[in-house]
Amino acid sequence: MAYKNLKEFIAHLKQQDELLEIDTAVSAELEITEITDRVSKEQGFPNKALLFRNVEGYEMPVLTNAFGSYRRMAMSLGVNDVREVAKRIEELLKPDIPDTLAGKASLLPKLLEVSQFPPQIVKTASCQDVVITDLSQPILDKLPILKCWPQDGGAFITLPLVITKNPHTGARNIGMYRLQKYDNTTTGMHWHKHHDGAKNYEDARKLGRRFEVAVALGCAPAITYAATAPVPQGIDEFIFAGFLRKKPVQLVKCVTVDLEVPADAEIVLEGYVDLEERRIEGPFGDHTGYYSLADNYPVFHITAMTHVKDPVYPATVVGKPPQEDCYMGKATEQIFLPVLRKILPEIVDMNLPLEGVFHNCAIISINKSYPGHANKVINAVWGLGQLMFTKFVIIVDSEVDVHNLSAVSWRVFNNTDPSRDCVITKGPLDVLDHASDLLGFGGKMGIDATKKWAEEGFNREWPAEITMSDDIKKKVDEKFRNYFAKS
């Protein structure tokens, strides 16, 4: 099913006993973070989504941790397991164009499915029930924006869908980039230089054109997830959201800028980013578990805020894993695996372990079929979309369960000769990496933990892995309880 808006998702979470409503007064400064952090780590309470209905000084309730478990992440996309979405993508990507007429006809529903995804423009929308263009009125001051961690540079909007258009092509882009509140009508705009929002802005800057931006807060969950997904540049994340929820996203024209926003969003901020202005942004307690350092970023000036009559303010807390964004990242790992396999068909499975916070480590199992195959995959990963940031790439043979970190460590520690099996190079790193000498550029390591072949120069015998013979296993299975029964 496709949720119409955030409130329908909240109702579903409640019905599924995945929501905790908190009526005790809480502060948006640090307190909501500490509660959310404890709940997301199951310290003293089961991990649930949290709806804070009594936030000191604000009328709007705050929703946190809505995507914060494997179950809720799947629920947000209307499936039981995100691998169901991966399966649909795999079907769409199938190369085999059938040569029979019946076969061709069977493709039709698939293609029709795709053609139904583009967003629809509507004339009226609930997100514009209340329109505020008088900038002397409370705007950001109305929103219970969280200050998450003690050394944060201020309060940050943490779950915003930032909507821009490329000035050359008009192609729409939606990305999630945090916004630091500076005052009632201005925020930071923390788009990393590698991300599409920043690229659109750079194009506009070179053309010397005013760059309009809209921000949607509190959308149907598939739309929010789509803003975080590594959708290739030039592809509208709203189309991807339509595919995910099997229903087009409805958009409405903004009131003061030439952009469209989800009609059912809770809150919309409209405005522009100045072409030259920069301001210190951060520090911010980030998903690496460390503070990302303060730096200069563009500034977002609000020209209007619109919202539904009784908005819910959505927020996420990032910090030491596991937290809500981990489950969003894990969904991406599985949903985009078929796309990755399309380019690298030898890949069996991939694990981006939580401890590596996605950009720092990828463990990949492959069907090794020629000498140097692991090296080929290591190098390919460093050239692929957002995977280019990966700091450590570990390759194992197909039979290894990449999600079992103990099994992977066993292979790495025992199957490698570091002087032979490690590739060390340099390349782009995630902007959040704090260990490299330079921002966004530094060292990388690939580890080939596959069994070594004679064709790769390994001339010793590779030992067999210990396993018991099947007949003995069967015999012991059958008698197992008897061995321990008291006679």
Ligand X SMILES: Cc1cc2nc3c(=O)[nH]c(=O)nc-3n(C[C@H](O)[C@H](O)[C@H](O)COP(=O)(O)O)c2cc1C
Tell me: does residue 336 bind ligand X (CB under 6 A): no
Asked if 26 contacts 33 with a C-beta cutoff of 8 angstroms, the reply is no
Tell me: does residue 263 bind ligand X (CB under 6 A): no
Piece in contact with Mn ion (CB under 5 A), picked from 113-121, 154-162, 226-234, 352-360: 226-234
Tell me: does residue 173 bind Mn ion (CB under 5 A): yes
Name 62's bridge partners.
Answer: 52, 313
Classify 286 as helix, strand or coil: coil
| Minimum CB distance to ligand X, residue 275 (Å) | 19
For residues 196 and 333, which CB has a smaller minimum distance to ligand X in the complex?
196
| Minimum CB distance to ligand X, residue 426 (Å) | 22
For residues 72 and 190, which CB has a smaller minimum distance to ligand X in the complex?
190
Asked if 395 contacts 449 with a C-beta cutoff of 8 angstroms, the reply is yes
Residues 368-427 close enough to bind ligand X by CB under 6 A = 386
For residue 3, the partner it binds in ligand X, Mn ion, none, with Cβ less than 5 to 8 A by kind, is none
User: Measuring CA to CA, how many Å separate 390 from each of 156, 365, 380, 444, 475?
Assistant: 27, 16, 11, 7, 46
Binding-site member from 152, 196, 266, 333 for Mn ion (CB under 5 A): 196
Piece in contact with Mn ion (CB under 5 A), picked from 22-30, 42-50, 193-201, 330-338: 193-201
| Minimum CB distance to Mn ion, residue 108 (Å) | 29
Tell me: does residue 285 bind ligand X (CB under 6 A): no
Q: How far apart are CA 37 and CA 255, in angstroms?
A: 37
* Angle subtended at Cα 418 by Cα 413 and Cα 419, rounded to the nearest 5 degrees: 160
Token pair of 227, please?
Answer: 């803003």
For residue 271, the partner it binds in ligand X, Mn ion, none, with Cβ less than 5 to 8 A by kind, is none
Tell me: does residue 260 bind ligand X (CB under 6 A): no
Name 132's bridge partners.
Answer: 305
Q: How many residues does the chain have?
A: 487
Counting Cα atoms < 13 Å in the Cβ hemisphere of 146 gives: 29
In sequence order, which ranges of 277-404 are alpha helices (DSSP H)? 324-335, 337-343, 373-381
Binding-site member from 40, 69, 180, 228 for ligand X (CB under 6 A): 228
For residues 230 and 427, which CB has a smaller minimum distance to ligand X in the complex?
230
Q: How far apart are CA 420 and CA 397, in angstroms?
A: 17
Tell me: does residue 18 bind Mn ion (CB under 5 A): no
Token pair of 169, please?
Answer: 């092509």
Q: How far apart are CA 417 and CA 431, in angstroms?
A: 31
For residues 149 and 300, which CB has a smaller minimum distance to Mn ion in the complex?
300
Q: How many CB atoms lie within 10 A of CB 207?
A: 12
For residues 197 and 319, which CB has a smaller minimum distance to ligand X in the complex?
197
Tell me: does residue 236 bind Mn ion (CB under 5 A): no
Residues contacting ligand X: total by CB under 6 A: 19
For residue 190, the partner it binds in ligand X, Mn ion, none, with Cβ less than 5 to 8 A by kind, is ligand X
Q: How far apart are CA 268 and CA 162, in angstroms?
A: 10
What type of residue sits at position 215?
Answer: V
| Minimum CB distance to ligand X, residue 438 (Å) | 18
Site string for ligand X, 173-212 (x = CB under 6 A): x-xxxx-----------xxx--xxx---------------
Tell me: does residue 200 bind Mn ion (CB under 5 A): no
Q: How far apart are CA 342 and CA 188, in angstroms?
A: 38
Phi/psi for 300 (5° steps) reads -100, 120
Piece in contact with Mn ion (CB under 5 A), picked from 66-74, 196-204, 270-278, 438-446: 196-204
Classify 268 as helix, strand or coil: strand
| Minimum CB distance to Mn ion, residue 175 (Å) | 6
| Residue whose structure tokens are 């478990």 | 69
- Is residue 286 annotated as a catalytic residue, yes or no? yes
Binding-site member from 153, 230, 283, 322 for ligand X (CB under 6 A): 230
| Residue whose structure tokens are 């002397």 | 136
Catalytic one among 196, 236, 264, 286? 286
Active site residues: 286
- Binding residues (CB under 5 A) for Mn ion: these are 173, 196, 231
- Binding residues (CB under 6 A) for ligand X: these are 173, 175-178, 190-192, 195-197, 228-230, 316, 318, 325, 328, 386
